Structures are given as structure tokens and as C-alpha cells.
């Protein structure tokens, strides 16, 4: 996708995610886990479906990004 830094990827994810995309997944001893599927476009012009995982800690109300990776069902498109 031709991102040149981790910060570019982070910014693309944060610009694409909205609260209505977050789907509750489960919870662990730290908080509630959510997932969101995003279509990200990189500098190359390609778009890929990305799965992101978020956590809202029990003593907090802000979703924090845990991980992001290409969804196995989300191929590249132009």
C-alpha cells in the first residue's frame, strides 16, 4: 500500500474509523474489546480491507487501538 511510516498507517486508521463501525467482540480482565473493518487506501492508490481491534478499559471510556492487520477476505482493489 506504500505507506512510508507507522504514523501514516495510524493516521489513516484514525481517519477511517467511526464509533458506529466498532462491533463488540468480547471482554477480558482489562476491558471490552471491539473490532472494526476499514477500507484503507494507501499512497499507491490501492485499497485494502483492514481488521482493527480496539479496547475500552474498564476505568476509561476511550477506545484504544490494539492491533490492525489485513483482513484475509479483503483483497486489494484500485
Total domain count, the chain: 1
**Cα–Cα distance, 53 to 18 (Å, whole number):** 13
pLDDT of 76 > 70? The answer is no
Residue 71: its H or E element: none
- Quick check: is 51 in a domain? yes
This prediction has a pTM of 0.82
- Quick check: is 78 in a domain? no
- Quick check: is 62 in a domain? yes
Residues near 2 by Cβ (< 8 Å), separated by ≥ 6? 42, 43, 44, 46
pLDDT (0 to 100) of residue 23:
97
Q: Could you tell me the three cell numbers for 68?
A: 490492525
Q: Could you tell me the three cell numbers for 23?
A: 462491533
For 9-58, how does the pLDDT look when each residue is reduced to its tens digit (9 = 90+)? 899 999 999 999 999 999 999 999 999 999 988 778 888 899 999 999 99
pLDDT (0 to 100) of residue 43:
78
For 46-75, how does the pLDDT look when each residue is reduced to its tens digit (9 = 90+)? 888 999 999 999 999 999 999 999 887 656
Amino acid at each position: 500500500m506504500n505507506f512510508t511510516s507507522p504514523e501514516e498507517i495510524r493516521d489513516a486508521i484514525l481517519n477511517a474509523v467511526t464509533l458506529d463501525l466498532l462491533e463488540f467482540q468480547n471482554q477480558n480482565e482489562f476491558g471490552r474489546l471491539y473490532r472494526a473493518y476499514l477500507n484503507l487506501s494507501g499512497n499507491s492508490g490501492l485499497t485494502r480491507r483492514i481488521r482493527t481491534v480496539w479496547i475500552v478499559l474498564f476505568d476509561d471510556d476511550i477506545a484504544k487501538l490494539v492491533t490492525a492487520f489485513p483482513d484475509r477476505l479483503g483483497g486489494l482493489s484500485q
